[in-house]
Homo-oligomer: A and B are copies of this chain.
């Protein structure tokens, strides 16, 4: 069956080009000198154009068509390879090369402008770039096609099988349970104080602490590394080389630490795909929502849990004896989990995080439908933040300019963060059921059993199973916000002394 080998060779070339693009991006955000940006954007644009050309080529299309007629005779993994490759090929063939190039250039410029103008909150300077990007996103949605509304086309790229209508229903159910409970907690917010975390914590010591945690989680440093970057991210140049980044704030312990655990979760997923999938379209997460479930699981369900801090509190006290002198476990643990109305998504507590997503989802829908113009975004953002989270940004710095996603044309991406929270609890609940001593295990510093369980259930299958089906396979359940709501109700009722 040498046509299958030919297909594999095609995909290997494409994934090698993708690895080069990923490295160009990694370097851009870690070590690249500032003056290299313009050239870098061009280089990435060129390579993305070549990738698109190959994915959309008649040759690959025909090869795939030929193999599809014989799919029934293939083993299930090979048949699945055809399915996901067809998905990628069809998507590529619907996008004209001109649009792909235009997008790469426009996002390069918009990201550059964002980096320059965000610190000074200059939305007016960023606006033309963002307008260009949203125009492109609309063109993309039309080119890709959709069943009910343009947003379906965008969402489907990140969360296959999920429609806007279903997403709305899930978010509404989530909101209904979340908003009143969060209100209850906020009314007694004063019961928890987190000043202890806002002292000076030496950056190098924080870094070493994060590295130790990554090692205990089972992150493989022979096949990956952690670096610093202004905005944490995970990228990979194939299974054997997965890179994560974090940033360290010396005046707040949480940023670096939870950044490390979050990206560490993404990193574990990427390092543990089935090795046979390397250099193929199967070596990806099942969806962005599932990917995010793994980062949020390690960041929150493990990293903000009592057993985890039973293990680490002593070590942290030893590392920062002055800062934590006389601080009791319970106050530290509560501080780590303090709930407060927050302006910034990436710093939001668990109860506020999903609300930040609702704001973005709502705005994306309005921008896409034309109901909202980019020019009016700051005002709409601020109003929606006030009605949803009860806070109003003093400046676009901490308002609609805080994320890089829109500059990058990643519209439809934000909802996968909230989905990740929900998936994560459903998956973690199942892990607890199958490993009744999981809490004890984590409390005694053994995180590898959890890593192994996730490897078998989630990591290895990679993109060979779609998210809905994966969730059913692992948990026996369909997606639902109720397990997540039950989790936060239990955890935060206890922390805040609610009945």
Contacts and interface: CB of A to CB of B under 8 A. Distances in A.
A13 B221 CA distance: 34
Contacts of A221: 33
A220 interface: yes
A35 B238 contact: no
A161 B220 CA distance: 50
Interface stretch (A19-27, A136-144, A399-407, A459-467): A19-27
B225 A39 contact: no
A46 interface: yes
Interface residues of A, number: 38
B31 A47 contact: no
A238 B20 contact: no
A223 interface: yes
A111 to B, nearest CB: 17
A10 B98 CA distance: 17
A101 B295 CA distance: 39
Contacts of A250: none
A227 interface: yes
Main secondary structure of the interface of A (DSSP, over half): helix
Interface string A253-291: 000000000000000000000000011000000000000
A36 B237 contact: yes
Contact of A35 (B17, B24, B223): B223
A36 B21 CA distance: 16
Q: Which of A20, A221, A222 has the most CB of B within 10 A?
A: A20
B227 A36 contact: no
Interface in A1-33: 12-13, 16-17, 19-21, 23-24, 27, 31-33
Contacts of A59: none
A225 B28 CA distance: 13
Contacts of A47: 16-17, 20
Contacts of A16: 42-43, 46-47
B20 A222 contact: no
A42 B241 CA distance: 13
Contacts of A279: 42
Contact of A46 (B17, B23, B31, B36): B17
Contacts of A212: none
Interface string A112-135: 000000000000000000000000
A278 to B, nearest CB: 8
Interface string A465-489: 0000000000000000000000000
Interface string A30-58: 01111110111011001100100000000
Given A23-B23, A23-B27, A24-B20, A237 B40 contact: yes
Given A39-B237, A46-B13, A237-B39, A223 B33 contact: yes
Contacts of A24: 20, 23
Q: Which of A31, A35, A221 has the most CB of B within 10 A?
A: A35
A150 interface: no
18 contacts: A12-B42, A12-B46, A13-B50, A16-B46, A17-B47, A17-B50, A23-B24, A23-B27, A31-B227, A32-B241, A33-B223, A33-B241, A35-B222, A35-B240, A38-B240, A39-B238, A39-B241, A43-B238
Given A17-B50, A27-B27, A36-B240, 17 more contacts: A13-B50, A16-B47, A20-B24, A23-B23, A31-B227, A32-B241, A33-B240, A35-B220, A35-B240, A36-B241, A39-B237, A39-B238, A39-B240, A40-B237, A40-B241, A42-B279, A43-B238
